[in-house]
Amino acid sequence: MTAQEWPAVNPPDAEKKNHLRDIHGEQVNDPYYWMNAYFKKTADSTQIIQYLEEENRYVDQMMADTRNFQQVLFDEMKSRIKEKDESVPVFKNGYYYYSRTEDGEQYFKYCRKKASLDAPEEILLDVDEMAKGKAYFSVRGFSISPDNHWLAYGVDEVSRRQYQIYFKDLKTGKVYNDGISNTTGSTVWANDNQTVFYTKNNETTLLTENIMRHRLGEDASKDIVVYHEEDNTNYIGVYKSKNNQYIFIHSSATTSSEERYLDANAPMDEFKVFQPRIKNVLYSVVPLEDRFLVLTNQNALNFKLMETPLHATRQENWKAIIPHREDVLIESVDEFKNYLVITERFNGLMRLVIKNRQTGQEKLLSFDEPTYSVYTTGNAEYFTEELRFAYNSMVTPASIFEQNMRTGKRKLLKQQEVLGDFDKNNYASEYLYATAKDGTKIPISLVYRKGLEKNGKNPLLLYGYGSYGASMEATFSSSRLALLNRGFIFAIAHIRGGEEMGRQWYEDGKMMKKINTFTDFIDAGKFLIQEKFTSPQHLYAQGGSAGGLLMGAVINMKPNMWNGIIAQVPFVDVVNTMLDEGIPLTTNEYDEWGNPNEKVAYDYMKSYSPYENIENKSYPNLLVTTGLHDSQVQYFEPAKWVAKLRDHQKGKNVILFKTEMDYGHGGASGRFDYLKDLALEYAFLFKLEGIKK
């Protein structure tokens, strides 16, 4: 079978049912609207489930000749993972905390040791045991009471990101269910060891609406609402300061935020507003022992760091200690007794700056690879001179370092062990710039196996996202070696809509400038073709969620530029979703995409929404994936998109649609199960390239 041959099997035939969208004086028929039946729990629920199962069978039939190859790929990727492993222990409040994995087990054990790493191990949660017999199982939000007696944690068994909170008595081992459901899974302990705060979600829209106060051992029906968010465009959450003095409630939309705070020793008091929300102003608070630090973009696009007295928190008292810079974005601040560590972004790359609080002296941590990722992690203690940070690149496996902030001495605590014949010296990475149609320079990170010839014949997978200000970091992946070792180049286009080049990079790729995201990606692909890395016959693209929107847009705009596309949980029905406030998270997104109830926003969305702009033309080969229980992008968006694409498809390229019937937005929960999905995606690419082993 050659690269372009497929079995003579007809895809499922999706029924059409008229449904008119009537808004702004325009009527639009949506013949696949009925596919939301399972989500809406309407009469067509059985029909859509049957249709999704038919689509899954079609994928199996079309990819049948790769079944053995998929198993080879799965085994190969799994064989590179060290199954029996342990995380770097983190010291907090007298204990070392870590997780460890066992041979053959899908999950992990959450453990601690008292005072010394030589002390006996205490298994706090055996998640391998807890997950037995479950199709999906997620545990998050591990939170230990200040007296080290209680563990709170959240469990999701549906993949809907709705967590039930449990409490475990670490002295007796008994687990208590106080009936706390529909939460984010995280809890924050007050210093009395009896009171916790948590975030309650709306059961239907999944919006974070209330911060609740709970007393250990009481029924959740008695829990008190300590904060209700009136604005349905905001996300809210609750957290505790590193110095354990304060509990904060954070409320934030895309463009403005507000903090409330409470003395952690007085959990029954009312939260105080730190600074009332201001339109188009974001801020976050870091408490020190004698002042508050405030990171804000008020009159500072790339943010500036301010300080204010503990007793005077309003903006008129804020004074700058790190001013705004046009070319440097301040992303976050880690606080210590004698130091601050500022995470910045410059020229698209992350960097860490250690600032001595007594002398004001600054030290920039430097790294010598052309493209990489670095961030602070595991810094739970306030009174320490040791800074921990994680580093990796497209050729360097994930590494945890510890650096003494006073002496500068650095040591490697752990580096991801890649089993098999991996040698980083066999691979090369580059950091290049494409020129967008408006002259903007678009960074591209690439990795490939050394010895590559730039002859236009190399298969290349271009990845992109470009939304929410989320920067796509150049990170290592052991599973990606399966691509690189078979001749593929992997590239990331750092397009506008992310925040790689500063806050303006995000502003120029959202709302009424969203189309920049799509044209940047296309221009990145054109650059890679011009530089002879690849050609349209060998160029592939991949994106998930909002990156799936990217995939849908670029194949409408430049369908002949790609041989194949992988769209994972794609957000492709922008207009209809943003018009339906009953769909989870819709109202939170107005500051990202606009509100289509306003005609200007509606018209602009309609101009790029993938579902709205399908035409009769030859689309590239597509593999589209989703999860039936997806809480972020509902399954019916890609289902409708695929059906409409097939109805308009010209030519012989295939469109495959796979639904995971047990999973949601993040895919499988086990640490190996996701490799099955990856094996299918890689097999799809290899099939298009005629690579069979």
Specify the pLDDT at position 664. Answer: 53
Instruction: Let me know: does 168 contact 177? Beta carbons within 8 Å.
Output: no
Specify the pLDDT at position 106. Answer: 84
Specify the pLDDT at position 631. Answer: 66
545 is known as an active-site residue: yes
Per residue in 59-91, pLDDT (tens digit) is 999 999 999 999 999 999 999 999 899 999 999
How far is 532 from 692, CA to CA, in rounded Å? 24
Per residue in 527-584, pLDDT (tens digit) is 999 999 999 999 999 999 999 999 999 999 999 999 999 999 999 999 999 998 877 6
Specify the pLDDT at position 336. Answer: 96
Q: Residue 1: is its pLDDT beyond 50? A: no
Question: Which strands, in side-by-side order, build the sheet including 372-376?
Answer: 372-376, 386-393, 399-404, 410-415
Token code pair at residue 419: 């089993």
> Residues 258-265: contacts with CB within 8 Å, 24+ apart?
259/283, 259/284, 259/285, 260/227, 261/285, 261/287, 264/190, 264/191, 264/240, 265/190, 265/191, 265/192
Per residue in 23-33, pLDDT (tens digit) is 999 999 999 99
Q: Residue 663: is its pLDDT beyond 70? A: no
99 is known as an active-site residue: no
Specify the pLDDT at position 661. Answer: 82
User: Considering 508, 573, 630, 669, which one is annotated as catalytic?
Assistant: 630
Q: Residue 205: is its pLDDT beyond 80? A: no
SS3 content of the chain, % helix, strand, coil (to 5): 20, 35, 45
Q: Residue 629: is its pLDDT beyond 50? A: yes
User: Considering 214, 494, 538, 665, which one is annotated as catalytic?
Assistant: 665
For residues 54-61, give the mean pLDDT.
97
Specify the pLDDT at position 4. Answer: 61
Map residue 318 onto helix, strand or coil: coil
Find the radius of gyration of the CA atoms of the chain.
26
For residues 342-348, give the mean pLDDT.
95
How far is 675 from 682, CA to CA, in rounded Å? 10
Per residue in 368-377, pLDDT (tens digit) is 899 999 999 9
Question: Which strands, in side-by-side order, build the sheet including 163-169?
Answer: 138-144, 150-156, 163-169, 175-189, 195-201, 208-215, 224-228
Per residue in 262-280, pLDDT (tens digit) is 999 999 999 999 999 999 9
**Most confident segment among 123-137, 224-238, 327-341:** 327-341
Average pLDDT, the chain: 94
As beta bridge partners, residue 8 has none
Q: Residue 630: is its pLDDT beyond 80? A: no
Query: Which helix (H) or strand (E) segment is 128 a member of?
Result: helix 127-130
Q: Residue 364: is its pLDDT beyond 60? A: yes
Q: Residue 666: is its pLDDT beyond 60? A: no
Instruction: Let me know: does 568 contact 543? Beta carbons within 8 Å.
Output: yes
User: Environment class of residue 558 by beta-carbon count within 10 Å: exposed (0-12), middle (13-18) or buried (19+)?
Assistant: middle
Helices 67-79/674-689 angle, 10° precision = 120
Where residue 251 falls among pLDDT bands split at 50, 70, 90?
A: very high
Per residue in 465-497, pLDDT (tens digit) is 999 999 999 999 999 999 999 999 999 999 999
For residues 440-461, give the mean pLDDT.
97
Specify the pLDDT at position 40. Answer: 76
For residues 667-674, give the mean pLDDT.
65
Q: Residue 203: is its pLDDT beyond 50? A: yes
Specify the pLDDT at position 254. Answer: 86
Percent of the chain with pLDDT over 70: 97
Per residue in 144-176, pLDDT (tens digit) is 999 999 999 999 987 777 899 999 999 999 999
Token code pair at residue 619: 């689309």
- In angstroms, how far is CA 156 from the centroid of its own chain? 18
Specify the pLDDT at position 2. Answer: 45
60 is known as an active-site residue: no
Question: What DSSP letter does each residue of 366-392 carry, written as one string?
Answer: ---SSSEEEEE-----SS-SEEEEEEE
As beta bridge partners, residue 171 has none
User: Considering 545, 609, 631, 669, which one is annotated as catalytic?
Assistant: 545
Percent of the chain with pLDDT over 90: 86
Q: Residue 454: is its pLDDT beyond 80? A: yes
Instruction: Let me know: does 142 contact 153? Beta carbons within 8 Å.
Output: yes
Q: Residue 355: is its pLDDT beyond 50? A: yes
